[in-house]
Amino acid sequence: MRRTAAVAVLAALLATLATLEIDAQQDDRATRLREQIDRIFLTNDYASPRFGPARWLPDGTAYAIVERTPAGAEIARYDAATGARSVQVPASRLTPPGGAALDIDDYAWSADGQRLLIFTNTRKVWRNNTRGDYWVLDLEGGRLRKLGGEAPEATLMFAKFSPDATRVAYVRANNLYVERLADGVITPLTTDGSETTINGTSDWVYEEELGVRDGFRWSPDGRRVAYWQFDSTGVGLFSLINDTDTLYPVVTQIPYPKAGSTNSSVRIGVVNADGGVTRWLKTPGDPRDTYLARLDWVDPGTVAMQQLNRLQNRNDFLLGDVDSGEVRRVFRDESTTWVDVDEVRWIANGAAFLWVSERDGWQHVFRVPRDGGDAQLVTRFDADVISVAGLDETAGWLYLLASPTNATQAYLYRSRLDGTGVPERVTPGDQPGSHSYDLAPGGRMAFHTYSSFDRLPTMDVVALPTHRSLRQLTNTQAVSAKVAPLLSPPAEFFAVDVGGGVTLDGWMLKPAAFDPSRSYPVIVHVYGEPAAQTVTDRWGGGRMLFHRALAEAGYIVVSVDNRGTPAPKGAAWRKVVYGTVGDLSSKEQAAAVRALAARHSFIDASRIGVWGWSGGGSNTLNVMFRFPDVFHVGVSVAPVPDQRLYDTIYQERYMGTPQGNADGYGVGSPINFAEGLRGKLLVVHGSGDDNVHYQGTESLVNRLVELGKPFDLMVYPNRTHGISEGPGTTVHVYQLIARYFLDHLAPGPR
């Protein structure tokens, strides 16, 4: 009897020791993970070397960079091929009498190169827009003068030289002005600007979804200015509440059109640069149910516009006569789903333009006559043009990014502008990964950035079309040595069959001490919506290193691009989600995890986590609610639980309106499936998110409470969609995500 008791005591002691050992391992993993996240986001130990920002100069052989010196900021010129440096504008010339040298936030040269426009003393207006002070430097005479007359400090926006550099146009307080440089006379071009009437810039939704910010254009002869005007009367006001910065809460209201609701009324006008009555262009349709997505001048008497219908399945290219206001359609791009907006590039001295379209099932470039007619295919291959990189019109070439055989990568190709022949690859074949290019004027040189998933980005100057490297612009040796321990083992790219003939791309990160005979928990990183890919063979910066740190802590980290993401796999791949965004993505994410678990015995199907941000936060909710047998722990950051609460342009582009597609909005919105939650869920949001409103998360909280579902919530006061404002915020978010997985999804092998 005594022997039996002794054996029991020994067994209990051994069990206790084993538990203590496991706890010690867990504590060690947690400590190392915390330290690594601090190195990534707090001390920035692994930050990639930066170059610039640099700007090509008009001759296409040199570039300029703003550089800081003890005397202040100066603008230096570099020969692109040799690196020979000279000072274009010394700090002494940028120092007002009796003041300090101007800090250059942005700058622009006049067309003749004799005057310089300096943007300084900037203040954030909202989101990406800034206002500040503008100064003009006359290089010949040396005069440095501030613009704006008696305008209050830091109130000017988007200043631009006239083509002859005798005047500058700018926006102040939602009105448009022209200032004559010879004598400082200021002429208001509009006087009706207010909180609801916006001249020369844009409203919230145009800025976020169509990229319209500086909302005016000088005519080529400098006689006129074309501009957008927004009337936000009738647009719903969304209230953001700041509870923490003052004794009493402060409410900020912004016009924000939610899906299916009233948009701003938008029109384009042309006004004489000396002032006068605006001529409004007679664009067709209801100005609240169409979008004027692009504006440019073709010649002194003609402006070009791109007009989308409300459903964004039709894009009309319009030419407007500035004297009569009459408008005619030159070209129409349309789809049964949606069309995208791209920049038009004029060629052949304005006789034709280049248009990006998916009209033949691929994203291709077409040549369209200015006077109308059939679109001629320029990029003749069965592959997508990822983006247009630039032109060498003299030699007759269009440069573009593409990757016909691997949708995770990107390479430079060139295609003949006359549409003959097939695109030919320019990027060397021994540089697998992703490449981007900033072409110089004329297209004979480019800044070239190259990276892969496990290779830091490097920059050099290359000659085109040979791709001969002329000069290295960054040196990653020191950072590469520091980050090397995190990059082992290398990332593994894979393809997974999810059934129905559908194969998805993905990547996988494994722990450094990976043992294939044991099983590991998996964390899936998801986005899954039409705005972005997660599976790309390029350097992913801090977020990728965060995933590396999770792998080092004992997780397998995986990401898969479902159909509906913008992978270069053809229009059908991208457009299959139309009308039900959120439904197919969750099904294919779950199918991918099941298929991987069936393929690999080292995946522990009982320990699957998932996390994502924005659209990825929405998809995290969708998979947690719909597939609780597959996903057990989730972290949803800044999600859209109810698609009716997001903005018109984005949501309606992919879903139609709620009034016309109630069933689609229902099946795409995770809040409608909340009863399926069984696992551990953390929802994270910034209360000051002006993009994806905290309102949606509060609605989800109410629904989960109603259902009696346990969950966790973290709110960051006054932070916006990126949850980055304030000291320590970014590192805190990632420490929070890591801690949640450590607490609820035990790391390490079994």
Q: What is the 3-state secondary structure (H, E, C) of 710-733?
A: CCEEEEECCCCCCCCCCCCHHHHH
In this structure, are 471 and 484 located in the same domain? no
Query: Is the model's pLDDT at 19 over the cut of 80?
Result: no
Average pLDDT score over residue span 591-619? 98
Boundary residue ending a domain (341, 360, 381):
341
In this structure, are 460 and 335 located in the same domain? no
Query: Is the model's pLDDT at 70 over the cut of 70?
Result: yes
**Which pair of tokens denotes residue 362?**
């691929």
Residue 637: φ, ψ to 5°: -105, 125
Amino acid 354: pLDDT: 98
Query: Is the model's pLDDT at 7 over the cut of 80?
Result: no
Query: Is the model's pLDDT at 20 over the cut of 60?
Result: no
Q: Residue 617, SS3? A: helix
Contacts of 669 (CB under 8 A, 6+ apart): 582, 640, 641, 642, 643, 644
How many folded domains does the chain comprise? Answer: 3
Query: Is the model's pLDDT at 40 over the cut of 70?
Result: yes
In this structure, are 395 and 489 located in the same domain? no
Whether 99 is covered by a domain: the verdict is: no
In this structure, are 437 and 518 located in the same domain? no
DSSP 474-498: ---HHHHHHHGGGG-SPPEEEEEEE
**Which pair of tokens denotes residue 501?**
């003939």
In this structure, are 321 and 463 located in the same domain? no
How many Cβ atoms are within 10 Å of 344's Cβ, its own excluded? 17
Measured between its terminal Cα atoms, the distance across the chain in Å is 35
Tell me the C-alpha distance between 271 and 519, whole Å.
69
CA nearest to 370, candidates 350, 342, 355, 356: 350
Pairing outcome for strands 224-231 and 186-188 = unpaired
Amino acid 124: pLDDT: 85
In this structure, are 639 and 516 located in the same domain? yes
Pairing outcome for strands 237-242 and 250-255 = antiparallel
Burial of 681 (0-12, 13-18, 19+ CB in 10 A): buried
CA nearest to 386, candidates 418, 362, 355: 362
Amino acid 311: pLDDT: 98
Pairing outcome for strands 468-472 and 492-499 = unpaired
In this structure, are 524 and 616 located in the same domain? yes
In this structure, are 689 and 545 located in the same domain? yes
CA nearest to 190, candidates 167, 166, 215, 162: 215
Cβ–Cβ under 8 Å, residues 700 and 665 = no
User: Which tens digit of pLDDT belongs to each residue from 547-599?
Assistant: 999 999 999 999 999 999 999 999 999 999 999 999 999 999 999 999 999 99
How many Cβ atoms are within 10 Å of 48's Cβ, its own excluded? 17
For the whole model, what pTM was predicted?
0.94
Tell me the C-alpha distance between 714 and 276, whole Å.
54
In this structure, are 486 and 425 located in the same domain? no
Whether 71 is covered by a domain: the verdict is: no
Boundary residue ending a domain (475, 497, 522):
475
Confidence of residue 500 (pLDDT cuts 50, 70, 90): very high
> CA 399: distance to chain centroid?
22
User: Which tens digit of pLDDT belongs to each residue from 449-469?
Assistant: 999 999 999 999 999 999 999
Tell me the C-alpha distance between 273 and 286, whole Å.
28
Q: Residue 50, SS3? A: coil
Using alpha carbons only, give the angle 675, 676, 681 rounded to the nearest 5 degrees: 95
CA nearest to 558, candidates 508, 593, 519: 508
In this structure, are 412 and 396 located in the same domain? yes
Whether 15 is covered by a domain: the verdict is: no
Residue 671 sits in a domain of what CATH number?
Answer: 3.40.50.1820
Whether 155 is covered by a domain: the verdict is: no
Boundary residue ending a domain (410, 441, 475):
475
Confidence of residue 21 (pLDDT cuts 50, 70, 90): low
The b-or-e profile of 257-296 (16+ CB within 10 A means b, else e) is bbbbbbbbbbbbbbbbbeeeebbebebeeebbebbbbbbe
Whether 347 is covered by a domain: the verdict is: no
Query: Is the model's pLDDT at 294 over the cut of 90?
Result: yes
Tell me the C-alpha distance between 715 and 437, whole Å.
39
In this structure, are 665 and 720 located in the same domain? yes
Whether 471 is covered by a domain: the verdict is: yes
Amino acid 321: pLDDT: 98
User: Which tens digit of pLDDT belongs to each residue from 711-738?
Assistant: 999 999 999 999 999 999 999 999 999 9
Whether 89 is covered by a domain: the verdict is: no
**Which pair of tokens denotes residue 521?**
């928990």
Whether 107 is covered by a domain: the verdict is: no
Amino acid (1-letter code) at residue 575: K
Amino acid 99: pLDDT: 87
In this structure, are 429 and 530 located in the same domain? no
Residue 296 sits in a domain of what CATH number?
Answer: 2.140.10.30
Residue 614: φ, ψ to 5°: 65, -120
The pLDDT mean for the chain works out to: 95
Could you list the residue range(s) of the whole structural domain that residue 30 is in? 25-47+480-744
Residue 435 sits in a domain of what CATH number?
Answer: 2.120.10.30
User: Which tens digit of pLDDT belongs to each residue from 368-400?
Assistant: 999 888 999 999 999 999 999 999 999 999 999
Q: Is the peptide bond before 465 cis (omega within 30 degrees of 0)?
A: yes
Confidence of residue 142 (pLDDT cuts 50, 70, 90): confident
Look-up: residue for tokens 């409103």? 693
